[in-house]
Amino acid sequence: MMTPTPFDSQSCTSCPRHCQADRTRAAGYCGVGSKPVIAKACVHLWEEPCISGTRGSGTVFFSGCSLRCVFCQNYPISRGGVGWEVEPAQLADVFLELQDKLVHNINLVSPSHQAEAIAEALHLCGGRLKVPVVWNSGGYDATETILALSEQVSVWLPDLKFHDAALSSDLAGAPDYFACAAAAVRTMVQCAGVPIFDEEGLLQKGVMIRHLVLPGHTRDSIRILEWVASEFGSSVLVSLMGQYTPMPDTPGAPARRLMRREYVRVTEALFRLGLEEGYVQELSSAGMERIPEFDGEGVPHCKARVGKRSMAT
Ligand code: SF4
């Protein structure tokens, strides 16, 4: 039986903001109307080894975002208005062209607020798309949206950013972040089950939770790991990251990099809790060099640049 689609462009509730914007007329809180807006589509080699493999991940960066993380490293596309509007059929072509480059998967970065268009594009691809689809989100996903995409997405790669409501309110404008993200991750695990890899070690199905340790907030990180361990044990992968990089002109964001002793404290908790399936990033990975340039690579008709759109506030 088909799951009823939750999408309604004229009263959008695709993400937990439930702002009910009429996206056929104007952008919602996420800054994007009903057509997909993308900033780059390329082969990406810097994800975890089970995602990037040897041939890379076919990555599509979506513009706009329903979170307002003050430390966002993709600010030009999340809130800065950089992106190019395409039709769902063109988005389907983008996925298929990436597949032609022999990538291991199609990696949808920040897709949550563009779920309806993504579902349509994946439907248009049909059986031509052979590689797994990866939902690479900030974790602020609506459970109804996850269920609607559960037959098209096989790898769920959500962040779990914050546990404390005051922290997520201050840093992302979302006091309900953990409640929503926890429900989302539970739903993803129900949909995908335990991780399944192919013979090359590439993740074909399953959930990998990412957590970026924030300077000065190791206690919050450990509470997240404790929750993951108690809910899922080793039936999910965990990717712990220490690459926090302070961005210029970001008031309210932690203004320094993570200290080694902070990262060691969280890493020790990870292993003490038995969360040994996954990855621990090298602390030396911090830096701007891995932040891609959002130049319209791989975007059809990128001359039709949306440019500095005024995002909804
Ligand atoms: S996806 Fe955008 S328009 Fe829809 S509820 Fe979320 S913020 Fe609002």
Nearest to 68 by CA among 14, 6, 12, 113: 113
CA of 56 to the centre of ligand 1 (A): 30
CA of 300 to the centre of ligand 1 (A): 25
Instruction: Tell me: pLDDT of 290 over 90.
Output: no
pLDDT at 304: 46
Other CB atoms within 10 A of residue 130 CB: 8
CA of 21 to the centre of ligand 1 (A): 7
* Distance between CA atoms of residues 72 and 247, nearest Å: 8
CA of 299 to the centre of ligand 1 (A): 23
CA of 27 to the centre of ligand 1 (A): 8
Pocket test for ligand 1, best of 5, 13, 309 (most atoms within 8 A of CB): 13
The residue ranges of every structural domain in the chain are: 37-290
Does ligand 1 lie within 6 Å of residue 15's CB atom? yes
Residues 27-31, mean pLDDT to the nearest whole number:
96
Q: In which residue are the tokens 């993200």 written?
A: 181
pLDDT at 202: 98
Atom of ligand 1 nearest to the CA of 115: 1
Pocket test for ligand 1, best of 5, 10, 18, 143 (most atoms within 8 A of CB): 18
For 82-111, b where at least 16 C-beta lie within 10 A, e where not — what string? bbbbbbbebbbbbbbebbeeebbbbbbbbb
Does ligand 1 lie within 6 Å of residue 21's CB atom? yes
Instruction: Tell me: pLDDT of 286 over 70.
Output: no
CA of 278 to the centre of ligand 1 (A): 31
Pocket test for ligand 1, best of 29, 67, 140 (most atoms within 8 A of CB): 29
CA of 110 to the centre of ligand 1 (A): 13
Residue of minimum CA distance from atom 3 in ligand 1? 28
Under DSSP, the state recorded for 36 is -
Please tell me which residue, 291 or 254, carries the higher pLDDT value. 254
Average pLDDT, the chain: 93
Pocket test for ligand 1, best of 15, 34, 65 (most atoms within 8 A of CB): 15
pLDDT at 311: 39
CA of 144 to the centre of ligand 1 (A): 13
* Distance between CA atoms of residues 263 and 304, nearest Å: 43
Residue of minimum CA distance from atom 2 in ligand 1? 30
* Distance between CA atoms of residues 227 and 265, nearest Å: 17
pLDDT at 195: 98
Instruction: Tell me: pLDDT of 312 over 90.
Output: no
* Distance between CA atoms of residues 41 and 96, nearest Å: 11
What is the per-residue pLDDT across 167-182, written as a single tens digit (0 to 9) for each? 999 999 999 999 999 9
For 209-238, b where at least 16 C-beta lie within 10 A, e where not — what string? bbbbbbbebbebbbbbbebbbeebeeebbb
Side-chain half-sphere of 289: how many Cα atoms within 13 Å?
5
CATH topology of domain 37-290: TIM Barrel (3.20.20)
